[in-house]
């Protein structure tokens, strides 16, 4: 039952991440200006009262509410996982540290979802919400991996390679943050459809880095962004540089681990996902952010993170300190 609940929750988490990305990219984050209802209703209403300043866009409202419904179901499933972890039979009882952390995380994630609406899609809050979704999915994935039979490695993993994996993972997480910040500040098209240049220049002179990562005040409507294009251009270019660094790091890491036969398939998956992710990033720029490619850029970013997490689980199997 516990494993089935984990599998179901993991699938739900993937769906919620996809819906969240689609909702954000469709500019539907404020499709319902209140929380948890939608214009004071449980379902999207056909008409709204005069007390609401924001006009009703039924299509956007439904996108937002479907995302909320799916997230609520995910939250309930994680509560069930927590309870199952507590009440497992003594012979199979394990630590409930990770399920507890997961429950706390999804609770905070729900609060971030509320603040996303009440604070009018503040870039910092929306980016944290994205990272929270990725973290929730990653924790569920780790719990699933713990249910599987440990991989038997053909040779011990050198400490330097474990350190390399840790560095690559940290770099990828930071790059995911940069991607989220680019999206939530509506900076994805700040360079127009130019690639690898930006507005016809390899490194524009008038970029504003001083305000690129400023948190910004609460209570301001951030829909469609409030930053000047010079600032958005800086955000976009930092994301591109981050992509170069992460790509080089993953390729170097994969080459360094090429002699571990038991890890070769995992490394090939990492490299394949990296290739797809880079291609999607380029497509998003040159084709002006097509919805499918932009959504998949989020999804493949998560898949790339999970592929590194899976690799970490294999490399740290014997001395793994994170037991569920």
Name the one residue in this structure whose structure tokens are 């609460």. Answer: 218
Q: How far apart are CA 241 and CA 23, in angstroms?
A: 27
Catalytic status, residue 319? no
Q: How far apart are CA 50 and CA 43, in angstroms?
A: 18
Q: Count Cα neighbours of 116 within 13 Å in the Cβ-side half-sphere.
A: 26
Instruction: Tell me which residue of 215, 58, 43 sits closest to 127, measured CA to CA.
Output: 215
CB atoms within 10 A of CB 274: 20
Q: How far apart are CA 56 and CA 58, in angstroms?
A: 6
Instruction: Tell me which residue of 98, 97, 94, 133 sits closest to 113, measured CA to CA.
Output: 133
Q: How far apart are CA 127 and CA 184, in angstroms?
A: 7
* Tokens, residue 310: 């899976």
Q: How far apart are CA 47 and CA 201, in angstroms?
A: 49
Residue 222 near residue 123, CB atoms below 8 Å: yes
Residue 273 near residue 173, CB atoms below 8 Å: no
* Tokens, residue 59: 């299509």
Say which of 51, 64, 201, 223 is annotated catalytic. 64
Compute φ and ψ for 201, nearest 5 degrees: -125, 145
Residues designated catalytic: 64
């Amino acid at each position: 039952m516990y494993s089935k609940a984990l599998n179901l929750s993991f699938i739900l988490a993937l769906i919620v991440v996809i819906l969240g990305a689609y909702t954000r990219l469709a500019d539907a984050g404020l499709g319902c200006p209140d929380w948890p209802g939608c214009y004071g209703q449980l379902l999207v209403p056909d008409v709204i009262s005069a007390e609401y300043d924001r006009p009703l866009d039924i299509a956007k409202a439904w996108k937002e509410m479907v995302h909320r419904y799916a997230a609520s179901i995910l939250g309930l499933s994680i509560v069930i996982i927590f309870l199952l972890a507590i009440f497992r039979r003594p012979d199979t009882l394990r630590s409930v540290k990770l399920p507890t952390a997961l429950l706390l995380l999804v609770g905070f994630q729900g609060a971030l979802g509320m603040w996303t609406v009440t604070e009018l899609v503040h870039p910092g809050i929306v980016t944290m919400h994205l990272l929270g979704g990725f973290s929730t999915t990653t924790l569920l994935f780790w719990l699933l991996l713990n249910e599987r039979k440990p991989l038997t490695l053909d040779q011990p993993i050198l400490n330097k390679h474990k350190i390399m994996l840790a560095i690559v993972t940290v770099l990828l997480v930071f790059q995911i943050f940069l991607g989220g910040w680019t999206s939530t500040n509506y900076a994805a098209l700040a360079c127009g459809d130019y690639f690898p240049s930006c507005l016809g220049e390899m490194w524009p002179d008038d970029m504003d880095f001083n305000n690129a990562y400023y948190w910004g005040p609460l209570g301001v409507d951030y829909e469609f962004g409030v930053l000047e294009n010079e600032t958005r251009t800086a955000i976009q270019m930092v994301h591109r540089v981050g992509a170069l660094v992460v790509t080089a790091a993953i390729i170097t890491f994969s080459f360094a681990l090429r002699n571990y036969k038991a890890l070769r398939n995992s490394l090939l998956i990492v490299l394949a996902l990296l290739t797809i992710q880079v291609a999607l990033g380029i497509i998003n720029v040159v084709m002006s952010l097509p919805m499918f490619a932009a959504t998949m850029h989020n999804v493949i970013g998560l898949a790339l993170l999970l592929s590194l997490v899976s690799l970490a689980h294999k490399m740290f199997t014997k001395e793994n300190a994170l037991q569920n």
